[in-house]
Amino acid sequence: MQRLFTTFAGGWPGRGLLLQRLLTSIALLHYGIRCFTEAPQSAFNTLHLIGAGAGIFLIVGLWTPVVGALIAMIEVSAGFLHAGDPWISCILAILGATLAMIGPGEWSIDARLFGRKHFAS
């Protein structure tokens, strides 16, 4: 996993990535919960439920490149399946893709598991 990133961004860039992960996760969880209150549309609801599950992984920053790519694919599919306004799906797809490309940042489980280890001598 460390090979996917040159570094895990710290400082202000790391905080920015944390905020991006939180914003994307909250939106995914919102639409995942909202699908329970709407009339059943099986394929559309299934996509949002998978997206909500991916949002949980994204909140803690676990498997961020894989989850970000999954979110991008889910939201592109949801954008084509949804009869209404596809812009929120487009925005979430872009956010998922950027998180897959940039990485989770220093404030994540990925950084703890796969970041560089410093040994004191």
Q: What is the pLDDT of residues 67-79, one digit of tens each?
A: 999 999 999 998 8
CA end-to-end span of the chain, whole Å? 26
Residue 48's pLDDT band, with cuts at 50, 70 and 90, is confident
Q: Give 36 or 79, the one with higher predicted confidence.
A: 79
Q: Which long-range contacts (CB under 8 A, 24 or more apart) does 55-59 make?
A: 55/24, 55/25, 55/26, 55/27, 55/28, 55/29, 56/25, 56/29, 58/21, 58/24, 58/25, 58/28, 58/99, 59/21, 59/22, 59/25
Q: What is the pLDDT of residues 58-69, one digit of tens each?
A: 999 899 999 999
Residue 4's pLDDT band, with cuts at 50, 70 and 90, is low
* pLDDT of 10 over the 90 cut: no
| pTM exceeds cut of 0.85 | no
